[in-house]
Amino acid sequence: MNFELVFIPSPGAGHLRSAVDMAKLLVDRETSLSITVIILPIISEGEVGASDYVAALSAASNSRLRYKVITSDSAEDEPTPELTNFEKHIENQAPKVKRVVAKLVKDYSRLPDSPRIVGFILDIFSYSMIDVAKEFGVPSYLFNTTNAGMLALGYHIQMLYDENKYDVSESDYVNSEAVLNVPSLSRPYPVKCIPDIFASKVTLPMFVNQARKFRQMKGILINTVSELEPYVLKFLSSSDTPPVYTYGPLLHLTNQVDDSKEEKQSDILRWLDEQPPSSVVFLCFGSKGGFSDEQAREIAMALERSGQRFLWSLRRASPNIFREAPKEFRNLEEVLPEGFFDRTKDIGRVVGWAPQVAVLAKPAIGGFFTHCGWNSMLESLWFGVPMAAWPLYAEQKFNAFMMVDELGLAVEIKKYWRDDHLTGVGTVTVTAEEIETSIKCLIDQDCDVRKKVKEISKKCHIALLDGGSSRIALQKFIEDVTKNYRFNDKGIRVCTQMRHN
């Protein structure tokens, strides 16, 4: 018997790439499984290269992995980049998704030995499609690209909110001395470390509703390793929430760049090949990470004072990351301290774009200053590179707390952060002294963080081998997806273990 899953990632190249990587992994693991990925209209005009990527996927469709593109054809699909409008944009696609799935069901009904659609796979922002799945009598599964800790935190805040016990507000949370006793964490969680999405009166209701929907899922796939977050996963396994399957680390390690960046990449990698092992600090802050002139100068002073070799991917902060990506500075000579480039020419490089994965793979890299995006942190762990945590937006303050305080896998730069999820820019400048201290700690060869990262790196690699924890969890997910379905006496597919939350 053949089975089919319907993937519905939320719009955007980043979400789509993660879903495609997961879909490829599943069809590689199970020959009886096929997948249809439904691609929703891109929401942001700033998604550079997204249309080319979608076109390449469409051309690559085959019998086991297909891509169905929903085109933008009405005023409802006009770009609306703000986060709350983003949610509405996805909800507006439900009728179109329903038509695509209905056509799949109809087409399969005419073919002998055609696959049965056994579930929807939704990412963290396309959760509203759970109602479409219910109309077709199949369950939904969450494809979660963040860590297990963030999932459990969302559950906890939703529970407190629904019981009228959550009063964190944007007016005072950054100065609060209060803590939350989150059952999935081994130590108290400072309210100051709560991501601003859980403090804003605009976004909090959206993320509370998101957690409610997650509880209705049949299961949750999480891009983590059981050995990395054992305390959180033990809590989740004992709670009344959907079962969790740890499939990570799922990383996009293929080194493909367009022609315009190939020369830049070659130059960067050649320079790294000339540096001693574990001698270079790499500073890179994701596709939406940028800094003010003042903050850039503080970083430059710290790098120069430390005397440490460095590779610095630097861009100017965007006034609104949902509308416009950060851009390179027009004239760094005017922004950074006078004479900085002359004084550091033998030990450092300042670039705009950097091939992060290819850089982290180089033996010369001894430490990584990161914005704490989960994929970036997993990449750093995979290559055994210790991190310094510099969260900028979204859930990154929680990721920093997890890595620094809960797991001891990253170096602290600043204890508490004030951020703005729209701009991605901290409202308090991090000083050169704070940054320099972190550089010296990060590059210390006897640093406990370095030792712990090397240990967890080995466990991440083992997890993906035959008999490894992630390989076993993924196989269990496939078995659970394919075994819980039967036909009733009217020939209609039904799920024998549907959850009713």
pLDDT tens per residue across span 348-366: 999 999 999 999 999 999 9
Mean predicted confidence (pLDDT) in 252-261: 76
Is the whole model's pTM more than 0.75, yes or no?
A: yes
Q: How confident is the model at residue 258 (pLDDT cuts 50, 70, 90)?
A: confident
Asked, as a colleague might, if the bond just before 188 is cis with ω within 30 of 0, I would say no
Mean predicted confidence (pLDDT) in 470-484: 91
CA atoms of 119 and 139, how far apart (whole Å): 5
Q: Is the pLDDT assigned to residue 475 strictly greater than 70?
A: yes
| pLDDT tens digits for range 73-85 | 655 555 445 666 7
CA atoms of 494 and 51, how far apart (whole Å): 37
Written as six digits, the tokens of 492 are 């209609």
Instruction: State the alpha helices, DSSP H only, in 11-162.
Output: 13-29, 50-59, 83-91, 94-109, 130-135, 148-162
303 and 435 housed in the same domain: yes
Instruction: State the alpha helices, DSSP H only, in 274-352.
Output: 293-306, 332-335, 340-344
Written as six digits, the tokens of 145 are 């690209």
Place of tokens 């990527």: 53
140-144/116-123 β-pairing: parallel
Mean predicted confidence (pLDDT) in 193-212: 92
340 and 402 housed in the same domain: yes
Residues contacting residue 367 through CB under 8 Å, at least 6 positions apart:
281, 282, 385, 386, 387, 388, 411, 439, 442, 443
501 occurs within a structural domain: no
Written as six digits, the tokens of 476 are 């269990």
Full residue range of the structural domain in which residue 297 is found: 261-457
419 and 484 housed in the same domain: no
CA distance readout (Å), 485 to 8, 136, 488:
21, 13, 10
Backbone angles phi, psi at 427, to 5 degrees: -85, -10
218 and 349 housed in the same domain: no
Closest C-alpha among 197, 170, 165 to residue 181:
165
Angle of the 83-91 helix axis to the 204-215 helix axis, nearest 10: 40
CB 12 within 8 A of CB 50: yes
181 and 330 housed in the same domain: no
Least confident span in 46-50, 285-289, 363-367, 486-490: 486-490
Written as six digits, the tokens of 447 are 């640093």
- E strand or H helix at 310: strand 309-313
219-222/140-144 β-pairing: parallel
282 and 167 housed in the same domain: no
116 and 168 housed in the same domain: yes
Residues contacting residue 426 through CB under 8 Å, at least 6 positions apart:
295, 392, 417, 418, 419, 420
Q: Is the pLDDT assigned to residue 86 strictly greater than 90?
A: no
For the chain, percent of residues with pLDDT exceeding 70: 90
417 and 483 housed in the same domain: no
Q: How confident is the model at residue 419 (pLDDT cuts 50, 70, 90)?
A: low
pLDDT for residue 255:
66
500 occurs within a structural domain: no
Instruction: State the CATH number of the domain containing residue 28.
Output: 3.40.50.2000
488 occurs within a structural domain: yes
CA atoms of 408 and 410, how far apart (whole Å): 6
What's the CA dihedral at 333, 339, 344, 346 to 10 degrees? 100
Closest C-alpha among 200, 138, 68, 127 to residue 485:
138
CA atoms of 63 and 456, how far apart (whole Å): 38
Give the count of domains, the chain: 2
Angle of the 13-29 helix axis to the 50-59 helix axis, nearest 10: 20
338 occurs within a structural domain: yes
481 and 449 housed in the same domain: no
CB 293 within 8 A of CB 379: no
CA atoms of 259 and 263, how far apart (whole Å): 8
CA atoms of 409 and 389, how far apart (whole Å): 10
Place of tokens 């640093």: 447
CA atoms of 61 and 59, how far apart (whole Å): 6
| pLDDT tens digits for range 100-141 | 999 999 999 888 888 999 999 999 999 999 999 999 999 999
276 and 319 housed in the same domain: yes
Length of the chain (residues) = 501
281 occurs within a structural domain: yes
Mean predicted confidence (pLDDT) in 54-68: 90
61 and 183 housed in the same domain: yes
234 and 271 housed in the same domain: no
